[in-house]
Chains A and B, each alone.
Chain A
Amino acid sequence: MPIELQINGQRLTTAADPSTPLLWFLRDELRLCGTKYGCGMAQCGACTVHVDGQAVRSCVMPIGALAGKPITTIEGLQGPVADALRAAWTELEVPQCGYCQTGQIMSAAALLREAPQPTDQDIDAGMAGNACRCATYVRIRKAIHQAAAAARGGAK
């Protein structure tokens, strides 16, 4: 059975194995490589994408379960919140090796949708699933606060 997927606003139909994790479909089939492989068991968050606006770990999400659901990857992340996050990440020089950062930004974007003015506790709860081996956490926290403030300012 072909599966119809909606990825970054585009519809496509695939005959790929429905058990294929979204992560590997994105990377190996679509060459959307901003979504990263880190653990394969939803332990690190490097593969975070949005499904129906919620942050999910694409490494454990079979494409067969995603028919018709809007999927957004880092390549398709747009809008004032996304812009504010990228600007803050750049301004504060968050990335070191950078490998996990797209997943961090995807989680942060989902967090700011839920909590536009997040407290430190909100950030802890929303971001604890995203590991960073370089431990850029101090700057991630700062960047989320800064992006939240900027997005609020922009919305006025």
Chain B
Amino acid sequence: MTQPVTRAAVTRRTFLRLSAAAGGGLLVAIRLPAANAAADDASGTIATLSTAADFAPNAFVRLAANGKVTVVINKSEMGQGVCTSLAMALAEELDAEWANVGFEFAPTAPEYIHPGYGIQFTGGSTSTLGMTEPMRQAGAVARAALLAAAAQQLGVDAKQLHTEPGVVVHQATGRRLPYGELAGLAATLPVPESAPLKEPKDFRLLGKPMHRLDTKAKVAGTAVFGLDVYVDGMLTAVVAHTPVFGGTTKSLDDRAARAVPGVRQVLDLGSAVAVLAESFWQAKQGRDRLQITWNEGPHASIDTKALRAEYQKLARQKGLVARQSGAAAAAFAAAARTVVADYELPYLAHAPMEPLNCVVHYRGDSAEIWAGTQFQTFDRLAAAKTLGLAPEKVALHTTFLGGGFGRRANPASDYIVEACQIAKQAKAPIKLVWTREDDLRAGFYRPLWHNRLAAALDAEGRITAWSHTIVGQSILTGTPFEAMMVKDGIDSASVEGADELPYAIEHQQVELHTTEVGVPTLWWRSVGHSHTAFAVESFVDELAHATQADPLALRRTLLQGHARHLGVLNLAAERAGYGKALPAGRAHGLAVHYSFNSYAAVVLEVSVKDGRPRVHRATCAIDCGFVLNPDTVAAQFEGAVGFALTAALYSAVELERGRVVQSNFHDYRLLRIDEMPEVAVHIVPSQEPPTGVGEPGVPPVAPALANALARLTGKRVRRLPIRPEDLV
């Protein structure tokens, strides 16, 4: 077994256990005595102490004799706070002392699949929706087992016992048994299959703004991301990717690369060339000295300008019908007036701050992999296939993710497969490191989209029909998700947000043209909603303008009966002071959108200076059902505002001659602190099941910005990112 060399003992212990888990089976692993039972490190969160007396009633929790509770998190932590919120759910029902609760990331194993999807992954804003109940149940049965152990130890009926945080109490005698002291006995007793859950009114942790379990390590610099994993004898691989998607190597001269001190191996992978060296810098110098000619293949003429023109034409033709209600064509024919608008959105890179990377230790008959991934099940299968191993011979360990946004959930497992291709031929464990240029140029983007909207108005200005035509690439066709999410040629990820319009319009038609381009695409935080919400919510404002209605009033009229939409819309409008006078040169814009089972509304206060929009304030309202941790919800919405503004103001991946133009943060720039608005987040109290938070904040932001700019300047932005010439 490899012992990864890292600077922190805590990490080594964690990985040791995870490694053992993959090799020896979960229960053996989580009962494994710790190699080093020293005190916790300063972070005090990730490391916990295992002893032989550990009580591990199920795959999600174990209790040490010293009272430490370790919650095993089957979701990837990429900033959304899931390691804390799921630990809270379990600790709530266990009635654990929060100060004693830590966490570990789950190994890749069947116990950790998403109950609704059957795979181990993190995405679709489904973690709290899918895992809150299982985590509560896992905590509840553990508590029930501890009560049974206490009853046996005290010789009393369990009904006479109750728990306080971390302690079983016998009311009659006042005797108190700390959980840790019961761990050994509880481990010998049968674990009940289920146990009653608390009433929400009795929650101590859930619904409270608890401090995150990962913050200390992240502030100290000790949190281990994929890039921070070092294995003894490891080489770093830096790769030259084909400059044109689908290209292959034609000829390779690697003499200059091999001459770089520290370079050990150069591998032609077919569509890429990898340079392996003792350090990143050596490998990169070698990579930069490769002389490669490429067979460019069929995609060397892709040009996003031409693509936009092509999409524009397609949008005027009949597409596949994704949604039909009423008789839109007849209503348009009978209209007193029609309003039409085209909205264009570019390819977008996810650009997580941590470039993609993956460590693989291939041993011939087995392999161990460390990666910040959102897609454990698929990645392990793809790795096993690439390495020619049975999946159970591949142990995949999840590290912290330095941002995900969907990029680390790739059905093609691109960077994992690439790392495994290299590892299979390498003479040592390898760490694949993508440079930022690789990240921006080697693919998997939010598709380029064209949306054409049309509305029919009657003589009184009422909207009688709505037509929405979408043009763009399918994300899911050709992936394992196709069977589930592509029906009759309609990729649900292309039309989501457009095919479930909440507005009361009698005749509706949504059509889709799915294009084949050759640019690899992928879900990007909020997926289809990232483009449909911009089109729909911009167009609603255009219709308000066309009918001299106030955008808020029009939405209120059209949303009758949609209480949760109205709830967030009215809350955001009220808290933002929508409709009240603003300082000169400023305007409000708003938008409301339902996605990932949650409802979100945003009001932005905007001005323009030197042709550039400036957002001063964002007022957000969300209804995401019962809130596990309100501070996490606020953080996700603050972040969503900045993430969406980056896209609206700056982001585009463009191609010329099949090559990506942008290469690094100088031409794919991110919003900076001096451009970040103040953000207020208001949560609608709810006892509905907890729903998505990571993504729903993104979709309403760009249309709210465009709507504010239209009010402020009279210019309607119909293409992202916004250019200065759009506002004059």
Contacts and interface: CB of A to CB of B under 8 A. Distances in A.
Given A38-B436, A127-B673, A135-B638, A31 B79 contact: no
B279 interface: yes
A93 B227 CA distance: 23
Interface in A75-100: 75, 86, 89-90, 93-100
Contact of B214 (A39, A41, A98, A137): A98
A86 B219 contact: yes
A134 B639 contact: yes
Interface residues of A, dominant DSSP: loop
A34 to B, nearest CB: 2
B403 A99 contact: yes
Interface string B350-375: 01111100000000000000000000
B400 interface: yes
A20 B284 CA distance: 11
A17 B284 CA distance: 13
Given A34-B222, A98-B223, A98-B402, A17 B261 contact: yes
A29 B639 contact: no
B158 interface: no
Given A89-B215, A89-B219, A137 B642 contact: yes
A113 B220 CA distance: 19
A101 interface: yes
A51 interface: no
Contact of A128 (B216, B639, B645, B672): B672
A19 B433 CA distance: 19
Counting chain A CB atoms within 10 Å of each CB, which of B80, B281, B355, B643 scores highest? Answer: B281
B353 A96 contact: no
Contact of A43 (B214, B219, B636, B666): B666
A132 B228 contact: no
Given A97-B78, A98-B402, A132 B216 contact: no
A95 B227 contact: no
Contacts of A152: none
A34 B218 CA distance: 9
A40 interface: yes
A138 B638 contact: yes
Contact of B79 (A96, A131, A137): A96
Contact of B671 (A27, A31, A135): A135
A72 interface: no
Contact size range, A: 35 or more
Contacts of B218: 95, 98, 101-102
Interface in A137-152: 137-141
A50 to B, nearest CB: 14
Interface residues of B, dominant DSSP: loop
A100 to B, nearest CB: 5
A33 interface: yes
Given A93-B635, A134-B79, A124 B670 contact: no
Contacts of B216: 90
Counting chain B CB atoms within 10 Å of each CB, which of A38, A86, A127, A134 scores highest? Answer: A134
Given A74-B221, A135-B639, A138-B676, A37 B227 contact: yes
Contact size range, B: 35 or more
B674 interface: yes
B355 A141 contact: no
A139 B218 CA distance: 15
Interface in B1-49: 5-7
A39 B676 contact: no
A33 B81 CA distance: 22
Contact of A29 (B217, B279, B640, B641): B279
B552 interface: no
A29 to B, nearest CB: 7
A47 to B, nearest CB: 11
Counting chain A CB atoms within 10 Å of each CB, which of B77, B282, B436, B636 scores highest? Answer: B436
B317 to A, nearest CB: 38
Nearest to A32: B7
B670 A97 contact: no
Contacts of B230: 31
Given A46-B353, A131-B672, A134-B642, 20 more contacts: A17-B261, A28-B278, A33-B221, A36-B225, A38-B354, A38-B355, A38-B436, A43-B664, A43-B669, A86-B220, A93-B635, A97-B78, A97-B79, A97-B352, A97-B400, A99-B403, A100-B402, A130-B673, A135-B646, A135-B676
Interface of A: 17, 19-21, 24, 27-29, 31-41, 43-44, 46, 73-75, 86, 89-90, 93-102, 105, 123-125, 127-128, 130-141
**7 nearest A-B residue pairs (beta carbon):** A135-B642, A34-B221, A96-B79, A99-B402, A98-B218, A97-B79, A124-B674
27 contacts: A17-B282, A27-B228, A28-B280, A28-B281, A29-B279, A31-B7, A34-B221, A36-B227, A36-B353, A37-B355, A38-B665, A39-B665, A40-B436, A43-B665, A86-B219, A93-B635, A95-B215, A96-B80, A97-B404, A98-B219, A102-B218, A132-B642, A135-B641, A135-B642, A135-B643, A136-B638, A136-B639
Interface of B: 5-7, 77-81, 211-212, 214-225, 227-228, 230, 236, 261, 278-282, 351-355, 400-405, 433, 435-436, 631, 635-636, 638-643, 645-646, 664-666, 669-674, 676, 678-679
